[in-house]
Amino acid sequence: MPRQARLDAPGTLHHVILRGMERGTIVADRQDRETFVVRLGEVATATGTTIYAWALLPNHAHLLLRSGAQGLPRFMRRLLTGYALAYNRRHKRIGHLFHNRYKSIVCEEDAYFRELVRYIHLNPHRAKLVPDLRALDRYPWCGHRGILSRETPPWHDRAYVLSWFGRTERAAVRTYREFLREGIAQGRRPELVGGGLIRSLGGWAEVHAVRQRADRVLADQRVLGSGEFVERMLAAGDARQQTQQARAQRLGQAQAIIRRRCRRAQVGLAELQLGSRRRRIAAVRSELAVHLVTQLGLSLADAARQLGVSTSGIAKAVARAEQPYVH
């Protein structure tokens, strides 16, 4: 079954899970952990990605984040590729470090933000890396300690997390910690990371109730939220995919138009795209710029990339063509 495209747009809330290859180690010691956390902060800052909760374990990691303008795939590619190279170099190994694709789940914020912060920050306790909540309060490889103590790196949005738990910092910290303590007895939460229907409805009890009523509910492996939320996310994803497909089609048409025009004018394609200022070549380029923008509907930036000139150069060519002829 072909894997599904990721659902993402700037500002989307994601629960990201990444695992070591064949459940292998991704951090072997304190130096690896420090390298991972430092890189996480650097890439988050560079891409405008906001981190709300995180937990780093020996063979996997969890992140609750809001994607920035550059999108989730670019953030994750920079994080994982850079860290894997550093890890392999240090440990004198080759090959993949992380298991296939990371898992990313688009989350309905109002219903699940608090639950996901708790689920992620309790990971070290569920993995028996710490014996109790007091030990977790001091555990350095998880965002929980920073939420309590203000020892939070600038890329971890502590203030936003606490805003979900109280109006004042002191009250919010107290409520947050009690919320985590109450979650310890819940154990694993398959509805937060499990199958699409379970995830969409919020747990087995809801799934059972819906089946009893024989309701039809839209579900998706990539989404944590109600059926209505799933439907909105899928519609938005389809719209973005259609936009991307239309753009790719226009770019393909543009390349064919450029090749045909070059052959007709007996102009070399490489010469055209390398910015030659010869009058005949400049005239062909100007003509193509106008056609690509006004007739084909390319953006100035896409037309500029196709013709090997600046965006401002394309804009000037289009403006000249649109000026009324004056006798």
Report all structural domains of the chain as residue ranges with CATH numbers, in order of start.
Answer: 13-188 (3.30.70.1290), 250-322 (no CATH)
| pLDDT, mean of residues 138-165 | 93
| pLDDT, mean of residues 309-322 | 79
Separation between Cα atoms, residue 159 and residue 63, nearest integer Å: 17
Higher pLDDT, 243 or 181: 181
Higher pLDDT, 199 or 327: 199
Query: What element of type H or E holds 223?
Result: strand 223-224
Task: Using alpha carbons, select from 109, 126, 118, 121 the residue that is nearest to residue 56.
Answer: 121
Task: Using alpha carbons, select from 187, 182, 178 the residue that is nearest to residue 148.
Answer: 178
pTM over 0.85: no
Separation between Cα atoms, residue 136 and residue 263, nearest integer Å: 69
Cα–Cα distance list, 166 to 109, 114, 134, 160, 170 (Å): 17, 12, 21, 11, 8
Separation between Cα atoms, residue 214 and residue 169, nearest integer Å: 45
Judged by DSSP in three states, 55 sits in strand
Please check the confidence at residue 318 and state whether its pLDDT lies above 70.
Answer: yes
Pick from 190-194, 201-205, 314-318: least confident: 201-205
pLDDT tens string 120-132: 999 999 999 999 9
223-224/13-19 β-pairing: unpaired
Supply the pLDDT for residue 163. Answer: 96
| pLDDT, mean of residues 67-88 | 91
The tokens describing 96, both together, are 């993949």
Supply the pLDDT for residue 223. Answer: 61
Supply the pLDDT for residue 204. Answer: 42
Asked if 248 contacts 296 with a C-beta cutoff of 8 angstroms, the reply is: no
